[in-house]
Structure 1
Amino acid sequence: MAKFTKKKQGDLPEVSTASLPDIVFMLLFFFMTVTTMKDSELMIKNELPFADQVQTLDKKDRVIYIYAGQPSSRYQDKFGTLPKIQLNDKFANVDEVANYVLAERASKREELQNVLTTALKVDYETNMGLVSDIKQELRKVNALKINYTTRSGSAFENVN
C-alpha cells in the first residue's frame, strides 16, 4: 500500500513570473498610445523678452496659451510678415480670441473655469498694439487674469 505524507506547515508555492514581461510590455504600449508629447506646433517666431522678476506657474492645467509674433519663415509666403496671433494650431484674427477663450474655458472642469490664467507668449519684436487688442478681447469675456511669459534675465537685454 502507498504511504501518504503530510505537507509541512508554512510551505508556500513559488510565484510564477512567466507573465511578468507580458504585463510590462502591455503597460508600455498603453502609455505610448495615450501620452501626448506636444500640444501644438509653433507657427510663429517666438523669442520671448527678458524679465528680471520671474515666477513660474505651478499648475499648467489652468493656463490658456495665446501666441503672438511674426510668422516663421515656413509660413511667410502664405501669411506675410506682419505679426499674427496663433491659437492652438492655426492663425487667427483678434476678434477670434474671445471665442477661443470661451471654448477653452468650457472644455475645462467646472471647478477650474473661474481660476484660469491666460498666458500671452509674445515675441519681443511684436508691437504693443497687437497685445493691447488681445487684452481688449480678453476683457470682453472677463478673462482678467493674464500672465506674460518671459525668459529670465535683465530687462535691459530687450533694448536693441
Structure 2
Amino acid sequence: IRPLVQMSTVEFHPWNSRRGHVEQPDEWRIDIDPMPRARYADVRRVARVTQEVLAELGAVGWPKTSGGKGMHVYVRIEPRWGFQDVRRAAHAFAREVGRRCDLVDLTWWRKDRDPASIFVDYNQNTRDHTIRCAYSVRGVAEALVSAPIRW
C-alpha cells in the first residue's frame, strides 16, 4: 500500500474477483444507495431487510459504511459464475428486498423517481465496476471513510 500512498492515491476500489479467477467474482456486492432526500434510518431499514433475505438464503453478509450516505454489504461466493450471472442474481436479490421494503426503488434511470427512495444497486456486480473498500478515504473535503460495521 505504501507505493500507492506515495502516488497520492486516496480512494481504493478493488475488483470483486481475484487474480486466479479474474472472470469469476468471489464477492457479491450489495450497494444500498440512498437518493438525496433519503434518511439514514431508512438506509438501516433496507439493510435489515437485506440481512433478513441473506439469512434466508444461508448467506453471510459483511456490512460497512460507504463513506457517504449509503451502505455496502459484501457476500463471499465461490468463483464459479461469471459477472453476468452474479449481476442477474444480484438483480433478483434487489427485487426481493424491494418487494419487502417499500423504500426501495429499482428504477434508478428514471428522472421522476422518489428523491427519498433507496436504490439497491445490483449493477456494482458488473465487470469493471468497483466499490470503495473498507478503510478507504473518500476523495472529498470531509475525507469521509468507509468502515466495517456490525449488523
TM-score range, shorter chain: under 0.3
Answer 1 or 2: higher relative contact order, Cα 8 Å, separation at least 6: 2
Return the TM-score normalized by structure 1: 0.26
Return the TM-score normalized by structure 2: 0.27
